Structure 1
Amino acid sequence: MKQRCRVMIPAQAPETKQSRLLFKKEWVSILTDAGERVGENEETFHEVEGELIEFRETSGIVVLKGGILASVPMYRIQMLEA
């Protein structure tokens, strides 16, 4: 399965911060094109496009720019192609 999608990545989540430390150049490229949204509880999200490659229980595995893999809850994924 390979489907273009838009995902909401929590900006302050520990796994996001760790990934940004490990893959600085790739995240700069991702965040250059990212939108920013604020959720109900004032939580900030990076709105980015990627490619959904697989579903696992209640999450999807998404490939972001630079080959970064992210496990994203289904309720934070929007399919861009039907």
Structure 2
Amino acid sequence: MPFVQIAWLPKACRTAAVRKDVADAIIKAMVSVKAADISPDNLVVRFSESVDGFPLPKGHSANPDLQAPQKPGAEAFLAEK
């Protein structure tokens, strides 16, 4: 299963809506390369801070099973203010 992790985004991009748009663009780009043979159902994009122990938020994928947070409560750290 292809897994893409974005380790850092500028502070202005750390909203859930912007992360979703960036993830959608990455998924679209990777799936469009036919030679890569990547199914959108097997691809997940996650965002994290480049800090040890920072909880990973919900992933972005066409497959709902791959969208669950990797750690409970991770979205609370990235909540919109």
Return the TM-score normalized by structure 1: 0.26
The higher relative CO (CA closer than 8 Å, separation ≥ 6) is in 1
Larger radius of gyration: 2
Structure with greater helix share of residues: 2
TM-score normalised by length of structure 2: 0.26
